[in-house]
Chains A and B, each alone.
Chain A
Amino acid sequence: MTKLVTAVIQPHRLDDVKSALEAAGVRGLTVSESSGYGRQKGHTEVYRGAEYTVDLVPKVKIDVLVGDEDAATVVEVVVKAAQTGKIGDGKVWVVPVEDVVRVRTGEHGDDAL
C-alpha cells in the first residue's frame, strides 16, 4: 500500500525540507507554489495610503509518495525541518493512495515509487 504525504509549509523552509527528505532516502517529490491561510490569517499592504488586507499568503506545497512503512518517518522529517515555532508554519497530512503507476514502465503500486 502507498501513502501520499502532503505538506504545506513556509516557502523559506523548502530548501531545508528538501535536503532532510533526501537524507532520509526519499527519491522524488513534487513542489508547487500555493497560497492560503490558517490561524495567522493574511497580512495588510498599503498603496498610497490605502490599506489592503490580503487574505492569502504565499506557501509551498510538497507532495511525496511513500511506502506504508515509511510514512510516519517522512512526516516526522518534514515537520522537524519545516518548524520555526511561529504561527504560519503550515500542516502535514497523510492519505492512502489506491494505486500508483510509473508512466515509463507501467509498473504498479510500491514498485512504481
Chain B
Amino acid sequence: MDFTLDTGNTAWMLASASLVLLMTPALAFFYGGMVRGKSVLNMMMMSFGALGVVGIVYVLWGYSMSFGSDVGGIFGNPFDWFGLEGLKDADGILAGSGVPALVGVGFQATFAIITVALISGAIADRTKFSTWLVFTAIWVTLSYFPLAHMVWGGGFLSGSEDGLAAKLFGTTDGAATVAPIDFAGGTVVHINAGVAGLVLALIIGKRKGFGKEPMRPHNLPFVMLGAALLWFGWFGFNAGSAGASNELAGLAWVNTTVATCAAMLGWLVTEKIRDGHPTSLGAASGVVAGLVAITPAAGALSPVGSIFLGAIAGVLCALAVGLKYKLGYDDSLDVVGVHLVGGFVGTVLIGLFSTGTGLFYGGGVKQLVVQFLVALFAVVFSGIITAVVGLALKAFMGWRVTEEAEVGGVDLALHSETAYETLGAGSRVVTEVK
C-alpha cells in the first residue's frame, strides 16, 4: 500500500495528541484539589509518574502490543515494532487518512497514559509511590494494551470475523454484522480504569479514619480548573478519535460538548434534590461524568441523543458516588462512581441511542446486547488482571505507607515536601536552612 501525506489531517491529529497529553496534568489538578492538603503533591505526582513510565513503555512495546499482528485475539505481537523499529507510514493506524504512523503512535500513547493515571484517584493518601510506578508499567502491559488490541486492534472485542460480536450475530463480508461500538475508549479507558480502581481500593484497604473523620477536598478551585482542562483536552480524545479533520470529528466535538453540559446539569439537579444545594464539586464531577459517558458514543449519536445520554449519566454517576459508604470500600476520589459507572452507562446506552443501529432508532436489540456483553467482558478481564497484579505487588513490595506516614501526610513522608507553608495544627517549623 502506498502512503500519501494529508497535511490537514496530520495537523489535526498532532493537535489532538497534544490535547490528550494535557489531560494527565489536568487530572493531577482535578484529583489534587480533592484530597487533603497533606497529600496533594503525592496525588499529583501519581499522575506525573504514570506519564513518565507509560510514555516510555508505550514506545518500547505498547504500540506493538496494541496494534501488532494478532495473537489469539487477545494482544498484538510486542516484537513486530518493538521500540517502533520498522514501523512504516503505510502500516500506521491512520494511514487511510494520510497521517504518518508516528503521529498515530503519539496519539495512542496519550490514551494509555491517562488511563493509568485515572486509577490513582481510587488509592489516594496511602499508597507507596514506588509500588505505584511498578504497577503502572505492569498493569498497562497486561490490561491496557490487550484491551486496546481487542477493541481497536482487530481483536476479540472488535468487529473482526473471529470476535465476540461475529460469534453472536454472524458475519457479513468477513466482518461482524453488528460490530461493537467504542468510539474513543469507553471500555478500553474508562471501564478498564474504573474496575482497576475498585480492585486496588479493595486490595489496599481504607484510609485510616475513612467514613469517620472528615476528608474534605482541600482546594475546590483546583478541582474546577482540572475539570476545565480535562474538557478542553477531551476534544482531542473524542474529536481526534475520528482520525481525521472531517464531519465525524465535528459530530464528536458537538456531541462531547452537549453531553457534558447535560451531565453537569443532571448531577447538579440530583444534588439539589438530595442534599439541598448544587455544589462546585458536583459541577466539576458532572463534567467529567459526561465526558466519560460520551467517549464511546461520540461518533454514533445525534446531538440530541447525546443530550439524553449525558443527562442520564450525570444523574446515575451522582447517585453512584455514594455507594462506597454503603458498601464500605474506600475509592477515595470516586473512580468507580464516575469512570466505571459512566463508562459502562455510555457503552451500553449506545445500544439505545445509536442513530444507525440503536433500539430507539429502529435498529432492534442486537446492538444493545453486543454493547452490554463487550462492557461486561471488559469488566471481568480488567478485574482479573488487576487482582493478580495488585496481589502480587502486595506480596512483593507492599502497597501501603506506614500509619505514621499516612497520618502525618504522604507528601512529607514520600517526597520530603509540603504543598503549603502551613497546614494548621501540627505543621512543621523550619529551624535550619542549609
Scan residues 186-233 of chain B and give those whose CB is less than 8 A from a CB of chain A: 214, 216-217
B374 at the interface (CB under 8 A from A): no
Q: How large is the interface on A (under 10, 10 to 19, 20 to 34, 35 or more residues)?
A: 10 to 19
A85 at the interface (CB under 8 A from B): no
Least CB separation from B220: chain A residue: A47
A23 at the interface (CB under 8 A from B): no
A69 at the interface (CB under 8 A from B): no
A39 at the interface (CB under 8 A from B): no
CA distance A47 to B215 in the complex (A): 9
A103 at the interface (CB under 8 A from B): no
A46 at the interface (CB under 8 A from B): yes
Scan residues 39-93 of chain A and give those whose CB is less than 8 A from a CB of chain B: 45-54
B173 at the interface (CB under 8 A from A): no
Across the interface, do A48 and B216 meet the contact criterion of CB distance under 8 Å? no
Least CB separation from A50: chain B residue: B325
Residues of A contacting B: mostly: strand
Min CB gap B7→A, angstroms: 45
Inter-chain CB contacts under 8 Å: number: 30
CA distance A54 to B215 in the complex (A): 11
B434 at the interface (CB under 8 A from A): no
Interface membership of chain B positions 319-363, coded 1 if the CB is closer than 8 angstroms to chain A and 0 otherwise: 001100100000000100100000000000000000000000000
Q: How large is the interface on B (under 10, 10 to 19, 20 to 34, 35 or more residues)?
A: 10 to 19
Across the interface, do B214 and A48 meet the contact criterion of CB distance under 8 Å? no
Min CB gap B349→A, angstroms: 23
B428 at the interface (CB under 8 A from A): no
CA distance A52 to B325 in the complex (A): 13
Given contacts A46-B275, A46-B277, A52 and B285 within 8 Å (CB-CB): no
CA distance A47 to B321 in the complex (A): 10
Least CB separation from B274: chain A residue: A49
B4 at the interface (CB under 8 A from A): no
Other than A47-B279, A49-B321, give 7 A-B pairs with Cβ distance below 8 A.
A45-B216, A46-B271, A46-B276, A46-B277, A48-B321, A49-B271, A50-B325
Provide 23 A-B residue pairs closer than 8 Å at the C-beta atoms, listed in order of the A residue.
A45-B216, A46-B271, A46-B277, A46-B279, A47-B216, A47-B217, A47-B279, A47-B281, A48-B281, A48-B282, A48-B285, A48-B334, A48-B337, A49-B271, A49-B274, A49-B275, A49-B321, A49-B322, A50-B325, A52-B214, A52-B216, A53-B214, A54-B214
